[in-house]
Amino acid sequence: MIKPNLAVKLALLATCFAQTSASPVQHSLRPGISVDEVDPYPSLGKPRVAFKPDGTFKITIFSDLHFGENPWDDWGPKQDANSIKLMNTVLSDEKPDYVVINGDLITGENTFKENATTLIDQIVGPLNNAKVPFSTTHGVYNTKSDDSDATPALILWFFDSRETARMEEAWGPAEQRGALAFMHIPPHPIRDLQATISPEKNPGLNADKLGSGSVQNPQDEPFWNTLTSKIPNLHAIVSGHDHGNEWCARDAATDVVFCFNKHSGYGGYGQAGWGYGVRDIVFKSLDPQVPPETWIRLEAGETRAHVTLNSDYGR
């Protein structure tokens, strides 16, 4: 079993700040800093992840795919085939500029080191076919080890530093950029936030009553405080884990908006009527003050809970 404090650390590790270049906005670099030093792509000849020429940028979020359940019978592999079908349908309809898989890609109970990569290959297959760039966060199950797996002797932690001073020198003040934060398990204050929401103010399924295991351990307090106070233009913090919730809500204490993903995988717990789908987030402008729009898209194409994350949202 995973220890709670480890779960918190892993979630911090998994927090992903995807950065997309807003190519039309150019800031002059300090003499001595070359473009190659701050741009991860050009020397490799890879395309940049960029807003479209019309100033829009669409992110599609898959969450809780839970591949690899019940490998001993039909049911698990059938679920995975359905999840791949959902991914293909959504990618072909939505044509996102970027994809985030926000944790719980695999259900760990029946997956060991010899077969985890096979499942990852299946999951990234639709993304590679669609040639869409993506990032993933890890979840709970992606890190579990079975009793038969040896206890690790060494854990490698990776943090993307993106040295702030240099970012600001190269790209101008952070206030000139928008931001989104992704992590699999909601930070702990989201549990209390649920009591403040209403269907009118916060549309979207609200079928999962949050308990202690539904959110981070309260030890994430310093992380939450930093996240909510230090990032200018943070449009939303986005999490999954609780498959029956879809709402976006504003935390009054920090004035930051939190949004649930949509359960995308046929694996993992669920209830009749919850459905499967994705959350789309669409930016309409490079201007970080222009709020993105977001909604839930179900597999068959129905959309719901369409909201604009402007400064009035969720008040």
Show contacts with ligand NAG in window 146-185 (CB under 6 A): none
CB of 107 to ligand NAG, least distance (A): 8
The token pair at 165 is 């001073």
CB of 265 to ligand NAG, least distance (A): 14
Check binding of 145 to ligand NAG (CB under 6 A).
no
Helix axes 116-130, 75-94, angle to 10 degrees: 20
Which of 15, 79, 111, 294 touches ligand NAG by CB under 6 A? Answer: 111
Given CA atoms 173, 175, 178, 184 in this order, what sign does their dihedral have?
positive
Q: Segment near ligand NAG (CB under 6 A), from 11-19, 108-116, 193-201, 206-214? A: 108-116
The site map against ligand NAG for 50-79 (x = CB under 6 A) is ------------------x--x--------
Residue carrying structure tokens 């890609």? 105
Check binding of 265 to ligand NAG (CB under 6 A).
no
The residue among 82 and 233 lying less far from ligand NAG, judged by its C-beta, is: 82
Count interface residues toward ligand NAG (CB under 6 A).
Answer: 7
Check binding of 267 to ligand NAG (CB under 6 A).
no
Report whether 243 contacts 257 (CB < 8 A).
Answer: no
Burial 38-58 (b: 16+ CB within 10 A, else e): beeeeeeeeeebbbeeeeebb
| DSSP letter (8 states) at residue 176 | G
Which of 110, 145, 176, 219 touches ligand NAG by CB under 6 A? Answer: 110
By the 10 Å C-beta count (0-12 exposed, 13-18 middle, 19+ buried), 79 is classed as buried
Pairing of strands 277-283, 234-239: unpaired
Which of 43, 115, 198, 303 touches ligand NAG by CB under 6 A? Answer: 115
> What residue ranges bind ligand NAG (CB under 6 A)?
68, 71, 110-112, 114-115
